Amino acid sequence: MKNGLATRKLADACEVFADGDWVESKDQSSEGIRLIQTGNVGGGVFKDRGEKARYISEATFKRLRCTEIFEGDCLISRLPDPVGRSCLLPETGERMITAVDCTIVRFNPNQLLPEFFNFYSQSDDYLKAVEAETTGTTRKRISRSKLGQVEIPVPPLPDQRRIVGILDKVFGFIATAKANAEKNLQNARAIFESYLQCIFTKRGAGWVERTVEKLSTNLDSKRVPITKSDRQPGEYPYYGASGIVDYVLDYIFEGDTLLVSEDGANLFARSTPIAFSVTGKYWVNNHAHILKFENMATQRFVEFYLASIKLDEYITGAAQPKLNQKALNSIPIPIPKAVEAQAKIVEDIESLAAETERLESLYQRKVASLEALKRSLLNQAFTGNL
């Protein structure tokens, strides 16, 4: 460890360093003794996940000879993500055990403060040391014996208390600032979505209702899918259900069109837009519908409207969701009859969308900066420079 800090192997600094219990699904029950799992172990925090809590009965506890865990014990997950993350058990008011993929750590109080290790477990030095001892390709993990060999800084207890006190205070400020930034990010999105709902529900004089089929020309018959092995690399975007999936040597469409996802889980999840305007020269496969409009104002209006509504009633299939052409064509769109009115609404929406994107970028940068500050403070704390 840098700057001459004393170190010990993790297992050597503990009074208890043991695996949790092997509890199969058939051993679990709806109440009794709480089973804490790797999903409850966050990066330095305990994730309650109360609605997903699992238990075993007192009889099962005795039959399996389980090891009870207590408030203040440290749990270390030997599974991703990341391997080696830890948390301290809070006061839950429940008796608890933990699963086999968690290591139970009870530190020697004369050597190491649990809170000190819990902060150290979030540092780059610790996570890199654990990563070096992990095995597996598809699913990384670390054995308890390898975990126990990881070197931990062990400064004098007064120094540990000082570091914990500083990090507790500063991390509290950072957590509050991060929560505020994330809340502001949610608010920015909510305001934009609320604005869309207001426009499309209030409507006004001169509005009509037209189906997608009446407003556009469907060009699906001109789509050509190309398997990945047959694609020749080039400069033209190759679009699929959720956007660009590749760049190819040739194009089959040119100009402005609206692409709408035809299939995929994103039709329900909406983690990416299901309707998006494209322009220029490009190729489209058979996972995205392609719609041509007489003018851009109508195209953008329909794009924003589709983004504002749920399409569940038009989608078939749960395991493999699909919005077929007939269903897409039948979606009714409330829209001003005059193109000029459409254009004015689109202009207002685009203006608010641009401001929302600016705010989202700002808040995302703030969250990233706060995370970087945490990493910097942890690095200073455990190299003797805090």
Please tell me the distance from the alpha carbon of residue 170 to that of residue 252, in angstroms, as a whole number: 57
Q: What is the pLDDT of residue 1?
A: 45
Binning the chain into helix, strand and coil, the percentages to the nearest 5 are: 45, 25, 35
Beta strands of the chain (E only): which ranges?
A: 7-9, 14-19, 28-29, 33-36, 54-56, 74-77, 86-88, 96-98, 102-107, 151-153, 207-211, 217-218, 233-240, 243-248, 253-254, 257-261, 275-278, 281-284, 288-292, 332-336
CB 110 within 8 A of CB 13: no
Task: Show the CA angle centred on residue 259, arms to residues 258 and 262, nearest 5°.
Answer: 145
* Per-residue pLDDT tens listing for the chain (386 residues): 455 678 999 999 999 999 999 999 999 988 999 999 999 999 899 998 767 789 999 999 999 999 999 999 999 999 998 999 999 999 888 999 999 999 999 999 999 999 999 999 999 999 999 999 999 888 899 999 999 999 999 999 999 999 999 999 999 999 999 999 999 989 998 999 899 989 998 888 899 999 999 999 999 999 999 999 999 999 999 999 999 999 999 999 999 999 999 999 999 988 899 999 999 999 999 999 999 999 999 999 999 999 999 999 999 987 889 999 999 999 999 999 999 999 999 999 999 999 999 999 999 999 999 989 998 999 888 887 77
Chain centroid offset of residue 63 CA: 39
Q: Are 98 and 69 in contact (CB under 8 A)?
A: yes
Query: Whole-model pTM?
Result: 0.71
What pLDDT is recorded for position 59? 94
Place of tokens 């999105």: 189
- The enclosing H or E element of 379 equals helix 339-381
Residue 6 confidence (pLDDT): 87
For β-strands 33-36 and 96-98, DSSP reports them as parallel
Name residue 295's amino acid: N
The predicted pLDDT at position 359 comes to: 92
User: Is it true that the peptide bond before 82 is cis, omega within 30 degrees of 0?
Assistant: yes
User: Of 382, 386, 384, 370, which Cα lies nearest the Cα of 122?
Assistant: 382
Among 115, 42, 117, residue whose Cα is nearest residue 77 = 42
Structure tokens at 41: 């172990």
DSSP string, 11-47: GGGEEEEEE-B---GGGEESSSEEEE-GGGB-SSSB-
Cβ atoms 239, 272 nearer than 8 A = no
- Round to whole Å and give the CA distance between 377 and 123: 9
Question: What is the distance between the alpha carbons of residues 201 and 63, in angstroms, rounded to a whole number?
Answer: 61
Strand 288-292 relative to strand 257-261: parallel, antiparallel, unpaired? antiparallel
**How far does the chain reach from its first CA to its final CA, in angstroms?**
15
Residue 53 corresponds to which tokens in the numbers above? Answer: 């809590």
| DSSP designation for 101 | T
